Amino acid sequence: MKKAVLMIIGVIMISVMLPISARADMGPKPSVIIDFNGLDGEVYFATLLSQTKSTGPHSAGNTYQEYMGNYDAFLKFSEYEDVDGYYFLCFYQDCSETSQFSWTYYPPQEFKLLLYFPGTDTFIVSNEIYERYAFDSYFTAEIMGQGDDLSAYASITLLKSYRYTNEIISLVIRILLTIAIELAIALLFDLRGKSVFRFIALTNIATQIALNLALNIINFHMGMLAFIVFYILLEVVVFVIESILYVAYLQKEYSKRKLIVYALSANTASFALGLLLAIWIPGVF
C-alpha cells in the first residue's frame, strides 16, 4: 500500500515538474481586461498608452507585423501624440464585436485607454491615468458625452469591476476537488468509516477555506510568483495542522505514524495536482 501511494505521488510530481520546466513562460501573467458599455454597433479599436516605452515584448516604435491586425489602425495609433507623453506599444485590438479589450501578456502598470473610430477618424482618450490594481485587473469603460456624433464624446472613465463571483466559484471548485483527492488517499491508507470521513472532510473544509482565501488575497495583490511561493509555505502549515488534528481525534483507531504519513501524502497529492491544474486551467486554479 505504501509503495502504491508513493508511486502515485511520484507520478503526480513528475507530471507537474515537466510542464513547469518545459513551459516556464507559459504560466499566468498579469492582465488588464476592459468591458465597454454603450458602443454597440460601433466600429472601434482600443489600446493602452504606457508611461514606459516597453513592457515585456511590447515596445514603442516597433514596425508593423501582420499578426497585429488592422494596418490602418496601427498607423493611426502610431501617429497619435499624447499630451502627457504616454507611448503606444504597438498592441491594439478590434473591440467592435466583443465589446471587450484584453491585454493578457505584460500590460503596462500605468496607462491611459485610447479608442480609435475609423468611421469618423476620431480618437477618444481616458481623462485619467489608471493603474493595474490586481494581478488580473478588470475595468468597465464608461463613455462620457452626448449626441450621436462620436466626436461629441468628451472622455472615457474606467471603473474597477473585479469579478468576485468568478473567484468565489473557483474557490468552491478547488475546495471540493481537494476534499475528493484527500478522501481518495484516505481509502488507500485504509482509513474508513463515516465518522472518519466526516472528520477528514470537515478538517479539510476548514483548512482549505483558510488556505484558499489567503492565496486569493496574495494572488490579488502580489501575483502568481508570490502565489506559488506562499502556496508551498502555507501547504506546510496545513500539513502540520491537519496532522495534529488527525492524531488528536483518530489515534484511538489508527497509529500516530500512519496518520502523519497520510496527512503528508494527501497534502502532497492535492498540492501537486493543484499546481498542475493551475498551469492547465488558470481560469479556475
Could you tell me the residue ranges of all domains in the chain?
Answer: 31-160, 164-280
Exposed, middle or buried: residue 207 (CB in 10 Å: 0-12, 13-18, 19+)? Answer: buried
In tens, the pLDDT along 208-235 reads 888 877 877 776 677 666 767 887 888 8
Give tens-digit pLDDT for 109-138: 999 999 999 999 999 999 899 998 877 889
Q: What confidence category does residue 36 fall into, taking pLDDT thresholds of 50, 70 and 90?
A: very high
Of 107, 103, 275, 136, the residue nearest 216 (C-alpha): 136
Look-up: residue for cell 478588470? 138
Taking CA atoms, 213 is separated from 120, 205, 230, 235, 247, in Å, by 48, 12, 12, 13, 26
